[in-house]
Structures are given as C-alpha cells and as structure tokens.
Structure 1
Amino acid sequence: MKHIAPLAITMGDASGIGPEIVAKTLARGGERAIVFGSRVVMEDIVRHLGLELAVRSIATPSQARLADKTIELIETTQIAVPPPLGMVSSISGRAAFDTIVAAVAAAKAGAVSGIVTAPINKEAMAGAGIGYPGHTEILADYGGAERVAMMLANNDIRTVLVTIHASLRNAIEQADFDAQMAAIRLAHEGGQALGIASPRVAVAGLNPHAGEGGLFGDEEIRIIGPAVEAARSEGIDASGPWPGDTVYMQARMGRFDIVVAQYHDQGLIPVKYLGLEEGVNITLGLPFVRTSPDHGTAFDIAGQGIADPASLQTAMAYARRLVTARTRASELERTV
C-alpha cells in the first residue's frame, strides 16, 4: 500500500475540553496526526495538565516528524491569550471555525489523509458571526459535497440521519423523498466503507408505530416506503419503515447493520444512551474521511483535567480504518 498521509486533528472550541482531550491523546504516543489550531492554547493546556509534550510549529503537513511526546501544530488562528475556560467565547468560536476550514483545505489537497474534529460550540460560533449550525454543514460547504449525512456508530449500533440540525417542524418538511434516498444510499456506502459487503439498512418511520397504516400520519406511506422500494431496486438491502421505538433494539440484536433515522434526536438518543466513550460521528458523502467524538464541549468540566479522551481516541481509530479502506479501494480501481 502507498504511503498514507497523517491525520489532521482540529483542536475544537478553545474554551471547552477539545484541547485537553487532544493533548491527552497525543501524550499516549503512536499517533500519526497533526494538530490544527492555536499554539498558545495547546501550550497552555499542556502546562496545565503537566504533560511531557513539546509543541512544535510547522508550516505544512509535509514538515511533520511525527515523533512521540510532540504535538506537531499548524497554526490556523492567532490567539494572543488563551480564552476563558468553561464559557461561551466568540474568540473560541472564530478560532474553531478557522481551524476547520484550514483542515478541510489540507484534506482536499491530499496533505492529510482525513480529519478528526474535537468538539465545537454552536453558540460561540454564532457569537463570532458564523452562520453554520455545526461541523457537518461547514464540512459540506468547504469540502464541496452536494449531499452529506451523519453516521453515529458504536460497538452496538450505527445510525444515519435523514435530517441533521433542524427544528423538528423543519425536519419533517425536509425529510422528503430525495432526502430519504440520499440517506439510504449513504448508509449503504458507509456500511461498505466499514467492511460490510452488503449492509442491511433499516429505515425508521417518522410517526409513532411507523404511522400504523396511516392512522398516525401518512409520511411512511407517501414518502418513506416508496424510498425504501426505490433503494431496493438499486440493489440496496433496505427495509422499512420500521417503528422508531423498536428498530434500534432489533439492530442491537443483530437483525440490521445500520438504521436510517428521520431526525436528529431519533438517531442520537439511542447511540448516546449506550455511552459516549465509544460513540463516533462519521460524516458520509465527503471527498475525504472525517470523524469526531460523540460529545460536546463539556464547559462544566473544562480546565479541571478530568475530561476523558476515549471517544476522541475511538474517532481516530475509525478514521484510520476508513482511510485504509479508501486507500485500498483506490488502488484496486487503478489495477482493474
């Protein structure tokens, strides 16, 4: 296999636990990754935690030595003084956004093999005048993807969202036939990227009991069911619509590989209930790999030195797995 470029890790919101879990992860050693963010912030958290880590600034990923006990850092934002921990800061919001944009540019250029993002705060970005509701939308715009989807995964279940960061009222309107088809196709592709040759994709209904034959709503009859049939005609092993209150139990028992959820909380509550330590967010549809931990900025514990880096470390493991799969698939295509 050809040489694989290192991963990029964005430091996330500087007022939250992002820099801490990034530093703790790199302190373990053995990670081929470059941090995108603020040298001032990363040096401050290293001192605060008492870690034996040096912070080395580089201009491009190709300059990285990837030595243990060293944070190789590309400065993407100029912060003179570390922003206050544990509270919303427009400085942190702007820095987080600039860092994501820089990492995306590096990924599109092939300078890094993928991106692992530490948590950001939507309120902080809004305070900085940035109108994106989250990572996914930034990545789609700057990554040049027409349609993306979130896949949340842990050891028990995987789920892909039809709609992402939208009010429930708007999500119902957005969950049209085209959105269903895009999510089902991306779920199929995402399962294959994780090594499942023919993923069994279960599509959750929107209404209680999947509409109960139209008694509790007809979206399942008008939209979701026809999308499932259309996906099956494309060779995708899709089924449904299934009641949202039982489909995850069936997936956990091994009946399905991936569940397509209609809206944010329908998909995320089951994953997060099983624990944040092993939960990973994977963005499907991008021209590069992107993963992130399945938790937020945790302002309530920022700066206390107790943040658990396990979910970030799992996100990095998933990123390496996906990058390797993409590389092998690309090499196979060139030999055919």
Structure 2
Amino acid sequence: MHSTGCLLVLLHSFLGYSQILQGPQSAAVLLNSDALFNCTLSEPWVIMTWLLNGRTVLTILSATGPVVTNPRFTSRNNTQGNAFTAELIISKVSLQDSGVVMCDLQNIETKEANLSVQVNGSLQITNHSLSVLQDHSTTIVCQASKWYPEPKITWMLNKTWADPQNYTTGSSLSTEFYDTTSTLRLAPSSDVTIVCVASIPALPEPQTTTVNLTVTAEHAKPSNDKTVLIAVTVTFSAVALIVLIIVGIVFCCKKRTSSKSSYQEEMRKVSQGRSPNEQNSKMPQIQGKINLGFSAENISGNQESQGSRDTGNKTVALEQVPHVIQTNNKGHYPVNPKKMRQATVV
C-alpha cells in the first residue's frame, strides 16, 4: 500500500498537478430511493475512489472508467473542458447507508459529505368529534407514527401559521423510529380549517393532514345531545302513559265496585224502610158488590168478633159473610169477610 501511494505521487508529479474542484454535497433521501453525489476534478487525473463510511464502494480509472464491484453503487461521468465530474449513484438506500460519503483523488486529496436516509411515516388527526360551541376551548391532537428522524410538527389555521405557544409537541423513540404527538389548543368563534404539518429534510414538501372544525352557536345543542334528549323524553313519556293507564284501570274497577255496592245498599234500605201500609197500598184494589143481606146495626161499637148476644128474647148470632165480587170469569170469591147478624126467634 505504501509503494502504491508513492507510485501515485510520482505519477501525479509526472502528469502535473490535479485537485478536487468541488466535493460532494450532503444529502437527505427517503428510504428505498436513490442517492446521488458529485465530485468534480481538474485535469489531468489518473484514479479516484468513492468511499461510504470508510469502505470503498466504487473505483474510477481515468483510462478505463469505473470498476463496479457492487451493483448498488454505479457512476455517471461527465467532462467539460478541463473539469471531470464523477457522479456516484447509490440505489435503494437503506438506513444502514446513512453516514459519511468520501471522494478520494489519487489518495492525495479527499472531500466528504453526509448521507441521511430518512423515513416518513403516517400522519393523522385523532379527534373523533370535530364540533365545538362558539368561543369554547377545545384541543386537536395530531399523531405522527414511525418517522425518522423526529419530524417537525407545525399547525395552520385557515391558511395562517398558528402561534407556537398554542400547541405542544412531544416525541418518543421506538426501535429505529420516532412517534410524535402534537396538541393544539384553540377557542374558535367561527368554522376553521385546521392543517397539521409534518416535515423532515428528505421530504420535498411537508406531509399534511386537514380537518374542518365546525363551530356551533352556544344556544344550539349538538345533534348528539338532541338525540339523547329525545330518547329520554320518549322513555319518560312511555312510562308515564303506562302509569296513567294502570291508574285509570284501578280507578274504574273501584268505581264500578263502589257503584254496585251503593245500589245494593240503597235497595236494602228501601226494602227495610217500607211500611206495611205502603206495601198494602201497592197491592191492587179489589172492588166488590154490596151484600144486600148485610145489616148495619150496632156499627158504632160493642160488636163481638165471634159468638152471640142477647137482645131480650132474641138471640143474635154474628157471622162473617164475605163480600161478593164479580170477576171476568163470573165467579164469586170471598174477599175481606164482614160481620153479618143472623137472628133466631124462640
């Protein structure tokens, strides 16, 4: 190796002075994409090499061109005047490719740059409800998962950058990736379009996610509250209706029982309070014909119910002779027997 270096130095002295006019520039590229590095040399030059993290990945000879030993590392060359530009192409970079890229001119002069392989993960706003009452405070949460390196999170409100004092951001490293959460606090007075912005150097443009926050007047209630209120009202109304039906049924049964009892009690009172005269008065009146054999003697009194009394030499016997009545069947039936005097002369 020492002899090779001396040989190159002698060759350099023989051919003339060569130098690196412009070395490679640091680059940040996304995972599985291609990384490009340029190194411009002055003529004449003999040999140059590309190294990644101290390991030679490509050798280029001025006379024959590049010597490829790994298909992931290739070169594209360009000569303009007295300047030669060698471009290193690293295909489908991995996280392990991150590190130092070096351009070495004939083991005399070197220039180096940094390669950063980065990963953009997912980005989303995790809020389930995007409605808030007017001038009421709310929080919006933005979650960036599996990023490398740690992403920078910012917010926009109606296309205007939000004040950094209105949000907080925190990250945690899990294996090779970062999980970052940012929380925005605001109290909007009208509808607002909210954009969560995540950026890393390898992204040509930041990754964003957008939501629309609806602001409701304070006197109005969200649809969910209306639904709950309607459900509660219907439930209580149904319960009240059932209770009223039960109370009505019980009341009707009691009223019917009370009416029946009152009717029976009234009939009982009427039956007990009726006098014999009233009962007789309700019996049909039966009229009879005058018995012509009846004598009205001694009507004023001193009648004997059954037997006889002496009136001098006469014995008067009192018998009950009934009235004779005429019926439709032309029969005679005794009704209300009267006393009749029968005299026997001795």
Instruction: Name the TM-score class by shorter chain.
Output: under 0.3
TM-score, scaled relative to structure 2 = 0.17
* Larger RCO of the pair (alpha carbons < 8 Å, separation 6+): 1
Greater helix content: 1
TM-score, scaled relative to structure 1 = 0.17
